[in-house]
Amino acid sequence: MHDKLTQLIPHNDAALHHDSDLPVINPGTNLRQAAVLIPLVHYNHHWQVLFIRRAHNERDRHSGQVAFPGGRLETFDASHEAAALRETHEEIGVAANHIKLVGRIGPYMTISHYQVTPVIGIMSWPTPLKLQSSEVARAFLIPLSWLRDQQNFTMRARSELDAKSAQRHPIIVYNEFDGETLWGASARMTLNFLKALDDGNIALPLHES
């Protein structure tokens, strides 16, 4: 697993947090700040990651894609963590007191000039979800062990996944799970998170099975 992550995620910091299908963003570009929560739950004796599928919206370039709850930082947000928790509450109805933050990983730059910081949090489970229907179509779990399995992800051309894109540069794509396909930015952030686990930069508590 670690060998494949090393191949797919370069050691160079500039490349590490930037998807391979996106043009290089000039260093002087004013990047808007955003944050997402990578929510972990312990369910059926295993760690699992909670993902959302975004609702269809013609004005949203990420419409219908698998993602993490999150969004841009507002002026009243005290930190990236505060923004990630606020957006999670708004999008899936889970309050901050049901989430224990355990760290963050390096920011990820997007083609829309956002710098997205993934925040890692352990969510109480089971916790009732209240999806904001205008933004979230579905929430679902994927086992951490499945995400780590090198047989479950590969590199493919973006145009194979996104009919609106003519780009054929490779992106990370996971196999379908429970009818959903994790790919692109969210897949890259998932692998960055897994590498942080492998490197010991993020630690999860032990649970009795």
- Does any domain span residue 90? yes
- Does any domain span residue 155? yes
**90-140, pLDDT tens digit by residue?**
999 999 999 999 999 999 988 778 999 999 999 999 999 999 999 999 999
**pTM for this model (two decimals):** 0.84
Give the whole-angstrom CA distance, residue 13 versus residue 62: 25
CATH for 92: 3.90.79.10
Given a cut of 50, the residues of the chain with pLDDT beneath it are: 6-23, 208-209
- Give the range of the structural domain holding residue 193, as residue numbers without chain letter: 2-198
CA distances from 201 to 52, 130, 158, 180, 194 (A): 25, 32, 30, 29, 10
- Does any domain span residue 208? no
Please state the domain count of the chain.
Answer: 1
- Does any domain span residue 54? yes
- Does any domain span residue 205? no
